[in-house]
Structure 1
Amino acid sequence: MNSNPRTRPQLVRRLTLPLLILYGLGVTVGAGIYVLVGTTAERAGIYAPISFILAAITVAFTGLAYSELSSRYPVSAGEAAYVQKGFNSKTLSLIIGLLVIASGTVSASAISIGAAAYLENFIPIAPSILTFIVVISIGLVAIWGILESVLLAAVLTVIELAGLGLVVIYGLYDEPTMLTRIPDLIPPFDPSVWGGILSACLLAFFAFIGFEDMVNVAEEVKNPKKTMPRGILLTLLSASVIYFLVVSVVVLTVPLDQLSQSAAPLQLVFHDSGEFISVLFGVIAIFATLNGILIQIIMASRVIYGLATQEKLPAFLAQVNSITHTPLKATILVCGIVLLLTYTLPIGKLAEATSSIVIIVFCLVNVALIKIKISEKTKPVDLYQVSILVPILGLFTSLFLLLAQFWL
């Protein structure tokens, strides 16, 4: 085997800006919005849409930091590379990379269980067998090729977004007078009201987690120095608009007492629409969960590949298949870890920890950018750049969210 890194198979740049945005929306606008609305409405009431706007503003600082770093260092295992550049520590860089892999594999495992549960309603097979079939099938798609797998993820994302669009359209159709009630969403200057809005904001923030995974496909993006920042920012902007529209329609359509107690709040919009909508939403939920698994497997395998190319993991994990141009061994390893977690560990508790893991990564990435900006003697050219105040604000908002979890 030729071990020369210049001649061995490499990842191929096949992703355009539209595909990158769809990939980003697929990992950001996940199943969370389908269940999160009720909880935020319980805390913020009819002002829940404002909580999502505040969450979008909060996450924007870290999103801007990621945008500059992805332009500076468009590589797989992006967060690990950023921390390596900022802290000059291979150990800390490896820890960050492993944390990102952990969050992705645990998330994929939890989603796999959910996908099997939805599929069981249509396919009479034991959930344990369905879970195995789901993970292996999605793994094969991820191995097939980055363009093919992201195209499939894009299709699934469009279906998932169509489900949210259906909520908005049906809500407006069912209650056309809703538009006249939009001023009701503007909160008064009441401390008790804003206390509930801020509390709900902490929950709404987690609906935006996922955009950071985009940096891990940077080596497969065309013109990444320009495409990556645009992709990240447009993904966050699009997600913000989608969340605001969906949440606004739900809180203006569904009685708040019903909404706050429902585990499937979006379904309440279709309270008198018949069985067809329930079946349709079940199908959409299947597509949404399959999409989540696929994107997390792609992300985790690229982080493993990136760490291996940075000589932080065994070199064989950096090998790219000459036919598919995907990191075959890294992808197989990720699928194995996902299955192991699914069958042996309490996924629920681990899944709860993924949010904390992501926020810790956010903190270190913001600090890395601050250190990079302070240490550089001359500013680089032809790169997307932000003020040093941006990562400083990103650090403080991330620390606030991390600490706030303990008293939520």
Structure 2
Amino acid sequence: MTDHPDKLRRSLNVPLLTLYGLGVTVGAGIYVLVGATAAAAGAYAPVSFAIAAIVVAFTAFSYAELSTRYPVSAGEAAYVEAGFSSGTLATVVGLAVALSGLVSAAAVSLGAASYLHELTGASQTFLTVGVVVAMGMIALWGITQSVTVAAIITVIEVSGLIFVMVWGFAIAEPAGVALIDIVPPLTGGHWAGIGAASLLAFFAFVGFEDMANVAEEVKDPLHTMPKAIIWTLVLATLLYIGTTTAVLVAVPLGTLSASAAPLSLVFQTAPEGVRQAFGVIAIVATVNGVLIQMIMASRVIYGLADRGHLPGLLSHVSATTRTPDVATCAVVAAILLLALTFPIDALAERTSQIVLSVFVLVNIALIRLKLRGPSFGAHYHVPMFVPVMGVATSLLLFATAFL
């Protein structure tokens, strides 16, 4: 079947989509959250990441089914519209997803500009604009090209985590906890801290759901989407647990818990060149986050417009690049506005709550679709308990966030 010239091009395979998912998931969490989880869970921080992975898995499998039922852009909006038969609720969900991406990209662009400022001394405002515009141009280039760039950056980013593990386990002098101390006793008050840290660790896994928003550009969604979602979750979990353990072994717990840049602590006694190399990787990771969130948000806006929920101009697709050019330009402008004029910290604190709310609605939508009976057409299937547990775990985490 050939692509329609006015629609997006289906060109993403399992490796590219998995790297896209890893890029948006890994970059948003592990580079900053190890210290916070260690502050809450102490030496048991790796266990918190394992618990978070189990919680996220339920909603991930719900997305695997829904993304094959409805392999379109603005995936969450399409799922909610199908499950609740409400265009208004679908629009609200789609805009919430896009907003979470815009806020995340704006915050990350400020972080990237800050890292670059330390290296170059250039104006942070200038660097912020430069990062956002440069990533916007890559996003406009074409989905295969932009996701390929993101995939290459993701390989660098993941290589940085592997570098942390190798250095922490094999090269750095062990100044932290012993490996045997990372396994918690089955009972005791420490589980309260592990539970609190699991909430933080959960936010490090947020990002896999963005894969649903490029489903309209995926080859063979029936087989590609579930495989890529599962691979993303498995690889991110292994990277998180391995990296967290390596940092705990190499860095004193008190020092680690107080740090906002925990991974760099592993290289405190490393040669200057090693420290600088890891600093460059950290910059690359943050820039990658801007690009991937930009791709996601533009596809959500395009998908909403294509189904009549937003002005039709936003559904325009470039005849040359086959990308949603108007939606991408609108996303670039919105990210710049947020990054340069709004208090990002206050907005960013609510991004996770927005995502959890979307998770609840998406899982309920799948429950309602399943209750209606068998669906027509081939798609990936999960048992009913999966979305039920997805709702329960998401609500529990949502409630915990306000305690």
Normalised-by-shorter TM-score class: over 0.9
- The one-letter code sitting in structure 1 at the alignment partner of 2:382 is V
Q: Does 1:126 align with 2:123?
A: yes
Query: In 2, Cα distance between the equivalents of 1:85 and 1:243?
Result: 35
User: Does the 8 Å CA contact 1:31/1:285 hold for their aligned counterparts?
Assistant: no
User: Does the 8 Å CA contact 1:105/1:300 hold for their aligned counterparts?
Assistant: yes
Q: Does 1:383 align with 2:371?
A: no
SS of the equivalent of 1:122 reads helix
Match of 2:68 among 64, 67, 71: 71
Match of 1:96 among 93, 97, 108: 93
SS of the equivalent of 2:205 reads coil
- The one-letter code sitting in structure 2 at the alignment partner of 1:247 is T
Distance 1:177 1:30, change over 3 A: closer
Distance 1:201 1:73, change over 3 A: same
Per mean C-alpha deviation after superposition, the further-off stretch among 117-126 and 211-220 is 117-126
Give the CA deviation at 1:132: 1.1
- The one-letter code sitting in structure 2 at the alignment partner of 1:406 is F
Query: In 2, Cα distance between the equivalents of 1:264 and 1:143?
Result: 32
Provide the residue aligned with 2:398 in structure 1. Answer: 402
Provide the residue aligned with 2:226 in structure 1. Answer: 229
User: Does the 8 Å CA contact 2:172/2:266 hold for their aligned counterparts?
Assistant: no
| Segments of 4+ moved more than 4 angstroms | 175-178
Query: In 2, Cα distance between the equivalents of 1:191 and 1:372?
Result: 42
Q: Does 1:216 align with 2:209?
A: no
SS of the equivalent of 2:230 reads helix
User: Does the 8 Å CA contact 2:107/2:348 hold for their aligned counterparts?
Assistant: yes
- The one-letter code sitting in structure 1 at the alignment partner of 2:392 is F
Query: In 2, Cα distance between the equivalents of 1:117 and 1:265?
Result: 17
TM value normalised by structure 2: 0.96
* Residue deviations 1:287-318 (CA, integer Å, cap 9, x gap): 11110000011000000110011110111111
Give the CA deviation at 1:199: 1.2
* Residue deviations 1:165-191 (CA, integer Å, cap 9, x gap): 11101112225989x953332211233
Match of 1:295 among 292, 295, 300: 292
Match of 1:170 among 167, 172, 175: 167
Per mean C-alpha deviation after superposition, the further-off stretch among 267-276 and 99-108 is 267-276
User: Does the 8 Å CA contact 1:14/1:221 hold for their aligned counterparts?
Assistant: yes
Q: How does 1:31-110 map to 2 (within 5 A)?
A: 31-110=28-107
TM value normalised by structure 1: 0.95
User: Does the 8 Å CA contact 1:46/1:252 hold for their aligned counterparts?
Assistant: no
Query: In 1, Cα distance between the equivalents of 2:180 and 2:118?
Result: 41
Query: In 2, Cα distance between the equivalents of 1:270 and 1:347?
Result: 30
Provide the residue aligned with 1:19 in structure 2. Answer: 16
Query: In 2, Cα distance between the equivalents of 1:169 and 1:92?
Result: 47
Structure 1 gap segments, 5+ residues each:
1-5
Q: Does 1:286 align with 2:291?
A: no
Give the CA deviation at 1:122: 2.5
Structure 2 gap segments, 5+ residues each:
none
Provide the residue aligned with 1:143 in structure 2. Answer: 140
- The one-letter code sitting in structure 2 at the alignment partner of 1:398 is S
CA RMSD across the alignment: 1.6
